[in-house]
Structure 1
Amino acid sequence: MRRIFTMIAGTAIITYALACAALFEFQRSLLYYPQPRSKSEGSTLLTLPVGAATVHVSTHPHAGTAALLYFGGNAEDVSRDVPDLVEAFPDRAIYALHYPGYGGSSGSPSEQAIFAESLALFDRVYAEHQDIVVIGRSLGTGAAVWVANQRPVARLVLVTPFDSLGDVAAAQYPFFPVRWLLRDKFESWRYAPQVTAPTRIVVAGADELVPRSSSDRLRTRFHKGVSSYVVVPRVGHNNIQDSAEYWPLLKGD
């Protein structure tokens, strides 16, 4: 009996170890879902060289000092957001970044690549527009906090944000040590304390992906008076934009 139990336990341990190895190996395919770029009316394509990579940015030009940078979610075609962003922010030039592997951008997505290309986009835009609002949604909040920690952002908006990607992964895979397995951690808690731009955090009241506790913790990372926190009731992670409150909150109304 002891031998049988030992064999069963050994098989279970090996199976669990193999599952952990599979999660580690294929984690980026579980995190990133690159989308093709749509042919949205009213937007043009900016091609931005970043090292050996070629980054695509869906844009809507506007003269003046004001601009907006948008960093979307992990399965988002940000070109589709441009018309709504133009309507909500008619006095700003719009720049929506296609992550590596998304929308025709070269390379493969990773935290390092997304951070590098987000900063490169900010620097490119800042050469023409010195009043820059940065909006990040879901995965894009990690990029947005990083940029605001590194550059002179005028205002920061975080939609359905997390304290770290590990919080989201742990909620999705509670029986695995995913915090130790993650390659791309997007630890916004590390960078939020250095952000001085006025920040609005917009949370979905029925978010099924990002734990409320994670968004709550992120709120505490900013220095007092920097951030405001709003919960939009009865909406989920992927349909928060359908709320009548959504665009006024992003605009700062």
Structure 2
Amino acid sequence: MVNAIAGLMGVTVAVYVIVGGWLYLFQERLLFQPGPPPPPPGETALAAMRPLTLTTADGLRVTSWYAPPAVDGGLVVVYFHGNAGNFAGRAVKVGQLLDQGLGVLLVGYRGYNGNPGTPSQAGFRDDGRAALDFLDGAGIGAARRVHYGESIGSGTALPLAVERGAAAVILEGAFTSIVEMARRQYPIYPAGWLVRHPFDNLAAVRDLAAPLLVMHGAGDDLVPPDMAQRLADAARAAGVPAVEAAIFPQGNHVDLFDHGAAGRVRAFLTRVTTSESG
């Protein structure tokens, strides 16, 4: 009997260690799920955009898509997309932003959209910096840039807004951190030790100096809606200006633009830009 219990405990420990080791070594397979390279913009619903190849600080040449604002001096949405798919999969959302006269820069990540390299938290930030450098060179500084972070893209949009400044930040389906996401999904493992790409939004939002809109679907079964409220609450407590939280009752993780998100974005940007100009 004792031997059987000891054997069972040994098997349990072995399985625990093996699964934990897999989560540590292969977590990129869970975090980053690139789709196939998209067709050229002209063959998609984003024909107004053009490819833009930029060189990152570590020497990678990554392609983004860009369309300037409809009017000189207009805002440009720097769009950091989520962990799956490609640019073409954002056509519905980006198309509605373009229809508002906003410029859009779809940030090309390494390992996505046919770009070279391997995705990582640090790599995504380098890719984002290259996009912001391009806008700086085009005379579009922080005061005209709106950082838009979709899901895992929030983990790049936020810290770069803190680092480089922004006119406003909009988050869609954002989490507090990947560490907390891992704790909820794998509660028996020490997530703080295992996660190598923490994307800590809760820490970043406390240092933000730009207006913030947090959008989330009440039916989001991937990122819990309470994380959106915690991000908004943390921002308010830290003195971030003009913090708004919009929970869409019928929305899930990927469909907020089917439930009026574009209108909420328009109203938010109108409020914060009018306030700043006044």
| Superposition TM-score, scaled by structure 2 size | 0.84
Match of 1:122 among 114, 132, 135: 132
C-alpha separation in 1, matches of 2:24 and 2:108: 25
| 2:180 and 2:191 in contact (8 A); partners too | no
**For residue 84 of structure 2, what is the aligned residue in structure 1?**
75
Q: Which residue number in structure 2 is paired with residue 19 of structure 1?
A: 19
1:53 aligns with: 60
1:20-47 CA-to-partner distances (Å, cap 9, x unmatched) read: 0011111101110112223322221000
Of the structure 1 ranges 60-69 and 107-116, higher mean CA displacement relative to structure 2 is found in 60-69
Cα offsets for 1:51-89 (capped at 9, x unmatched)? 221111011134623322101110031244356435434
Counting only pairs closer than 5 Å after superposition, residues 145-156 of structure 1 correspond to structure 2 as 145-156=158-169
Structure 1 SS opposite 2:26: helix
Note closer, same or farther for the CA distance 1:225–1:27 as it changes in structure 2 (3 Å cut).
closer
- Distance apart, 1:118 and its partner CA: 0.8
1:235 aligned partner: 251
In the TM superposition, what are the counterparts of 1:1-253 in structure 2 within 5 Å?
Answer: 1-35=1-35, 36-39=37-40, 40=44, 41-50=47-56, 51-62=58-69, 64-65=72-73, 66-82=75-91, 84-89=93-98, 90-128=100-138, 129-130=140-141, 131-222=144-235, 223-224=238-239, 226=241, 227-243=243-259, 245-253=260-268
Superposed displacement of residue 207, structure 1? 0.9
Q: Distance in 2 between matches of 1:197 and 1:234?
A: 28
Query: Once the 2 structures are TM-superposed, how far is the Cα of residue 167 of structure 1 from its aligned partner?
Result: 2.2
Amino acid at match of 1:6: A
Structure 1 residues 77 and 103, CA, compared in 2 at 3 Å: closer, same or farther? Answer: same
| 1:132-189 Cα deviation digits (max 9, x unpaired) | 1111110011111011111120111001111111222233333333332111000012
Stretches of structure 2 that go unaligned for 5 or more consecutive residues are: 269-278
Following superposition, the deviation at residue 10 of structure 1 comes to: 0.9
Tell me, yes or no, if the aligned pair for 1:59 and 1:82 is still in contact at 8 Å.
no
CA contact (8 A) 1:86 1:92 kept: no
The residue that corresponds to 2:275 in the other structure is none
Farther off after superposition, 80-89 or 210-219: 80-89
State the TM-score, normalized to the length of structure 1.
0.92
- Greater than 6 Å deviation, 4+ residue runs: none
What one-letter code is carried by the residue in structure 1 that aligns with 2:72?
A: G
The structure richer in helix per residue is 2
What RMSD in Å do the two structures reach over aligned CA positions?
Answer: 1.8
Measured in 2, the distance between the counterparts of 1:5 and 1:240 equals 51
Cα distance in 2 for residues equivalent to 1:106 and 1:248: 36
In the alignment of these two chains, the number of paired residues is: 252
Distance 1:82 1:240 in 2: 13
Q: Do the aligned partners of residues 87 and 209 (structure 1) sit closer, same or farther apart at CA in structure 2, a change above 3 Å counting?
A: closer
Q: CA deviation at 1:16?
A: 0.9
